Amino acid sequence: MTSLFQSHSLRIFFFLFIFSQFIKAQDQASSKSSGLILTEEGLKKIKDNLGQVPLFDRSLQEIKDEVDIEINNGIEVPIPKDLAGGYTHERHKKNYSTAQKAGVLFNILGEEKYANYIKKMLLEYAAMYPKLPLHPEERSYARGKIFWQSLNDSNWLVSMSQAYSSIYNWISKEERATLENNLFKPFADFLSVESPQFFNRIHNHSTWGNAAVGMIGLVMNDEELVDLALYGLKEDNIDETARDNDGGLIKQKGQAAGFLANMEEAFSPSGYYTEGPYYQRYALYPFMLFAKALQNKKPELKIFEYKDGILVKSVYALINLTDADGEFFPLNDAQKGMSYFNNSVIMSVDAAYYYGEHNPMLLSIAKKQGEVTLDDAGLAVALGLKNKEEQEFLKESIILTDGSKGNKGGVAILHSKEDKSRYSLVMKYTSQGDSHGHYDKLSYSFYNDGEEVIQDYGFARFVNIEQKNGGGYLKENTSWAKQSIAHNTIIQNETSHFNGDFDTGTKFHSEKYFSDFSKPDVQIISAKENNAYPGTQMHRTMALINSDIFQKPVMIDIFRVTGAKENQYDLPFYYFGQIIETNFEYNSPEKLEKLGSKNGYQHLWKEAAGISSANNSKFTWSNNNKFYTLTNVTKEGDSLIMARLGASDPQFNLRRDPVYIWRKHKAKDAVFVSVLEPHGSYNPITELGNNSFSQIKEAKILIDNDEYTAVELIGFNKTKLLLVIANKNGEGRHSLRINNNEISWKGNYTIIEN
């Protein structure tokens, strides 16, 4: 630490020296910002504070180091050829990213080498662009010119608009004309009027396209482009059946388009983005950046107040959708490991602080991020941190509604703490989630701090790894990751929810039945899904409970299904780690066969299977030196299957993750009651384990009918816990005779420990 700090101090000193040398030159050159992101006023404040605000100075130094290396390497603008991960793709990405940063450095430091770098690069693009055909790679529904898809071309224009803005006043009128006529105007036209299927959707792609066109419009003072960006194309002639590469519908008939329509439609009033947090993080970038530009150039729009301040709300929602390490819950299509350390979220947190209410909880996130944007917002955050104003960001149990009006289900995130550990349950009862949605009604994942205990698979894709389909979606994303069997929810007759049909899935959403986070020892959520399987009603209630029976909080899961006819029902548990013990017999085959032939089942190898005889089937495993036991209230004849991912996977695209599946073979109605119990620990250095056994002596269903479900847990310490759910009309008063006791309560559930 010491040497880093010393070296850092030296660099700041050096940097201030440089700065003082150029401040005069800068004032002479007419390098006034055109104010797209960096306002005149903001720039002045930044200059006044230079060298005095540690986080800002460090962020500036990091970017300066990065850009200086690139400037030394020289400019390369190759003819587009490659997919993601390939040379030309990565080079053009690096170009726009460096140019944007160089623009910031020019504005703040005034060194002309940065402006020259941008000018030279843009002129090279301007020389190349008019002759460019569509990118040779043909796989996208909306091909780009610089990149294989217009999405990446939009990324380019969002950054280059900022770079151009930075040098707008510094270059000559003639140079501006060259850049605008040969590059920016045709570029914006290509992304908008020439690509309606890309530009005129409610989709993160379009948000990028809208922002790109709008931002360059703001720089060029081209009101027509800005209007296109805000309100979409008036005419688009999009075929009503057209699909994108993910199978998503391009546009519903009569749907609005443009940036404002995307803000309106894509976010729920809670700030949840219907595609899920991984794409929310991605989409937030153009939403926030264009909003910042609009705030500067068109303050009359009051963009940060739009939809009751939805952009700022969405930042809070996004932070709540992270685990203890700041990684996003991988709902819908999502690459694991993506977190609030991503640049897009750094920028969004700074903006939410600055354009919102200067909430000191956001400062603690920014502190962890360790970086700020080099503008008014970033400076405000860095100043807040310098003044030690930060407060811990408290993640309380929360409901995030889905749907533009907040009426299409949602996500519940429940937390329960014990000592220093936090157990989190993420239950999903949303709408489909557009083309990135999975068939995962009433599914959940469970976390022990930053560790996945019961996982959501995420997507089947290696972003930017060229060898894996050019970094694009793999076919296993459709055949596996989106299927219901890939999720911790009930699958009927080995078919996915909505029969895996996107259009059907898009018509429906699950409904919250009730939730209660008011009691410290009980966090509970209950939701229903009546459309995933026609004729079948699904009702799942999940609770995190602290009880004297247990050392740590446990999850109780009551999943009722009511069928119109006899069905097979599967409930998988995607655990991690090593099986320690079961209380039932099972057979391991001599050859491994696939668990099924389609709907994702073809990807699972059946490693072992047993038939339940006891009333409680127990499954204990260990992961990362912790123990977990799943106690399932089984009926005689239920199957218990150990399976593993990896079948029908000729390219080894899937992780070899294990799953434990509870199957009811022929049942019309059924109730799956499970208790997930974290317990004990193991120390590989002392080699001592503690509490490697479940604390549940028995779990019983005392009542289960249309009116009520009552579950009793009996601990080895003789403590008893009774949980009763009113399955319908829950809000009123209830009374019920259980175990020869009359109990009565008001509301959807009651819990009694004795």
Q: Which position among 49, 499, 691, 692 is part of the footprint of its own copies (CB under 8 A)?
A: 692
Q: Which string of x and - marks every residue 461-500 that binds its own copies (by CB under 8 A)?
A: -xxxxxxx--------------------------------
Q: Which position among 391, 588, 705, 739 is part of the footprint of its own copies (CB under 8 A)?
A: 588
Q: Which position among 71, 132, 361, 580 is part of the footprint of its own copies (CB under 8 A)?
A: 580
The least distance separating its own copies from the CB of residue 248, rounded to whole angstroms, comes to: 21
Active site residue: 168, 279, 660, 708, which one?
279
The least distance separating its own copies from the CB of residue 369, rounded to whole angstroms, comes to: 10
Q: Which string of x and - marks every residue 303-322 that binds its own copies (by CB under 8 A)?
A: --------------------
The least distance separating its own copies from the CB of residue 132, rounded to whole angstroms, comes to: 25
Active site residue: 89, 436, 438, 603, which one?
436
Name the segment binding its own copies (CB under 8 A); options: 46-54, 159-167, 449-457, 578-586: 578-586
The least distance separating its own copies from the CB of residue 592, rounded to whole angstroms, comes to: 4
Q: Which position among 1, 4, 394, 685 is part of the footprint of its own copies (CB under 8 A)?
A: 685
Q: Going by C-beta distance under 8 Å and a sequence separation of 6 or more, which residues neighbour residue 736?
A: 703, 708, 710, 724, 742, 743, 744
Q: Which string of x and - marks every residue 545-574 that binds its own copies (by CB under 8 A)?
A: ------------------------------
Residues 8-47 that bind its own copies (CB under 8 A): none
Q: Is the Cβ of residue 289 or residue 346 nearer to its own copies in the bound state?
A: 346
The least distance separating its own copies from the CB of residue 686, rounded to whole angstroms, comes to: 7
Q: Which string of x and - marks every residue 398-437 that binds its own copies (by CB under 8 A)?
A: ----------------------------------------
Output b/e per residue, 387-419; b: 16+ Cβ within 10 A. eeebeebebebbbbbbbbebebbbbbbbbbeee
- Give the tokens for residue 263: 């803000």
Does residue 151 touch its own copies according to CB under 8 A? no
Residues 212-271 that bind its own copies (CB under 8 A): none
How far is 174 from 236, CA to CA, in rounded Å?
A: 34
Q: Which position among 75, 361, 592, 609 is part of the footprint of its own copies (CB under 8 A)?
A: 592
Q: Which string of x and - marks every residue 83-112 that binds its own copies (by CB under 8 A)?
A: --x----x----------------------
Would you say 503 and 431 are in contact if contact means Cβ atoms under 8 Å apart? Answer: no
How far is 330 from 77, CA to CA, in rounded Å?
A: 36
Q: Is the Cβ of residue 457 or residue 462 nearer to its own copies in the bound state?
A: 462
Q: Which residue type, as a one-letter code, is found at position 358?
A: H
Measured CA distances, 528 to 478, 508, 658, 674 (Å): 25, 12, 28, 18
Q: Is the Cβ of residue 440 or residue 649 nearer to its own copies in the bound state?
A: 649
Burial of 227 (0-12, 13-18, 19+ CB in 10 A): middle
The least distance separating its own copies from the CB of residue 605, rounded to whole angstroms, comes to: 6
Would you say 492 and 569 are in contact if contact means Cβ atoms under 8 Å apart? Answer: yes
**Alpha-carbon torsion angle 332, 334, 336, 341, nearest 10:** -120
The least distance separating its own copies from the CB of residue 423, rounded to whole angstroms, comes to: 23
The least distance separating its own copies from the CB of residue 615, rounded to whole angstroms, comes to: 21
Question: Strands 708-715 and 451-454: what pairing?
Answer: unpaired
Residues 598-657 that bind its own copies (CB under 8 A): 605, 607-608, 620, 622, 642, 644, 646, 648-652, 655-656
Residues 49-88 that bind its own copies (CB under 8 A): 85
Would you say 674 and 703 are in contact if contact means Cβ atoms under 8 Å apart? Answer: no
How far is 136 from 154, CA to CA, in rounded Å?
A: 18
Residue-level length of the chain: 754
Burial of 64 (0-12, 13-18, 19+ CB in 10 A): buried
Q: Is the Cβ of residue 4 or residue 688 nearer to its own copies in the bound state?
A: 688
The least distance separating its own copies from the CB of residue 470, rounded to whole angstroms, comes to: 12
- Give the tokens for residue 21: 């040398």
Q: How far is CA 10 from the centre of its chain?
A: 39
Would you say 428 and 437 are in contact if contact means Cβ atoms under 8 Å apart? Answer: no
Beta strand ranges found along 285-403 (DSSP E): 398-401
Q: Is the Cβ of residue 15 or residue 576 nearer to its own copies in the bound state?
A: 576
Task: Report the interhelical angle of 277-297 vs 204-220 (nearest 10°).
Answer: 20
Q: Going by C-beta distance under 8 Å and a sequence separation of 6 or more, which residues neighbour residue 21?
A: none
Q: Which position among 27, 593, 707, 731 is part of the footprint of its own copies (CB under 8 A)?
A: 593
Name the segment binding its own copies (CB under 8 A); options: 101-109, 189-197, 688-696, 737-745: 688-696
- What sign for the dihedral angle of Cα 15, 16, 22, 26? positive
Region label for 645, one of left (φ > 0), alpha (ψ between -120 and 50) or beta (otherwise) = beta
The least distance separating its own copies from the CB of residue 5, rounded to whole angstroms, comes to: 16
How far is 513 from 726, CA to CA, in rounded Å?
A: 10
- What sign for the dihedral angle of Cα 209, 340, 343, 82? negative
Number of residues that bind its own copies (CB under 8 A): 52
Output b/e per residue, 539-554; b: 16+ Cβ within 10 A. bbbbbbbbbebbbbbb
Question: Strands 733-738 and 626-633: what pairing?
Answer: unpaired
The least distance separating its own copies from the CB of residue 679, rounded to whole angstroms, comes to: 13
Q: Which position among 133, 254, 520, 684 is part of the footprint of its own copies (CB under 8 A)?
A: 684
Q: Is the Cβ of residue 44 or residue 81 nearer to its own copies in the bound state?
A: 81
Would you say 738 and 574 are in contact if contact means Cβ atoms under 8 Å apart? Answer: no
Triad 507, 513, 516: Cα angle to 5°: 135
Q: Is the Cβ of residue 30 or residue 597 nearer to its own copies in the bound state?
A: 597
DSSP 8-state secondary structure symbol assigned to residue 719: -
Q: Is the Cβ of residue 193 or residue 580 nearer to its own copies in the bound state?
A: 580
- Give the tokens for residue 738: 């259980």
Q: Is the Cβ of residue 150 or residue 620 nearer to its own copies in the bound state?
A: 620
436 is catalytic: yes
Name the segment binding its own copies (CB under 8 A); options: 134-142, 349-357, 388-396, 584-592: 584-592
DSSP 8-state secondary structure symbol assigned to residue 461: B
How far is 115 from 124, CA to CA, in rounded Å?
A: 14
The least distance separating its own copies from the CB of residue 495, rounded to whole angstroms, comes to: 22
Q: Which residue type, as a one-letter code, is found at position 151?
A: L
Q: Is the Cβ of residue 607 or residue 698 nearer to its own copies in the bound state?
A: 607
Name the segment binding its own copies (CB under 8 A); options: 211-219, 312-320, 551-559, 575-583: 575-583
Q: Which string of x and - marks every residue 320-349 that binds its own copies (by CB under 8 A)?
A: ---------------xxxxx-xxx------
Q: Is the Cβ of residue 686 or residue 754 nearer to its own copies in the bound state?
A: 686
First to last CA, the chain: 53
Half-sphere exposure (Cβ direction) of 108: Cα atoms closer than 13 Å: 30
For tokens 């809208």, what's the residue?
210
The least distance separating its own copies from the CB of residue 341, rounded to whole angstroms, comes to: 5
Q: Is the Cβ of residue 25 or residue 69 nearer to its own copies in the bound state?
A: 69
Q: Is the Cβ of residue 269 or residue 646 nearer to its own copies in the bound state?
A: 646
279 is catalytic: yes
How far is 28 from 648, CA to CA, in rounded Å?
A: 67
How far is 748 from 732, CA to CA, in rounded Å?
A: 8
Q: Could you list the active site residues?
A: 279, 436
Contact set with its own copies (CB under 8 A): 85, 90, 335-339, 341-343, 462-468, 578-581, 588, 590-594, 605, 607-608, 620, 622, 642, 644, 646, 648-652, 655-656, 658, 682, 684-689, 692-693
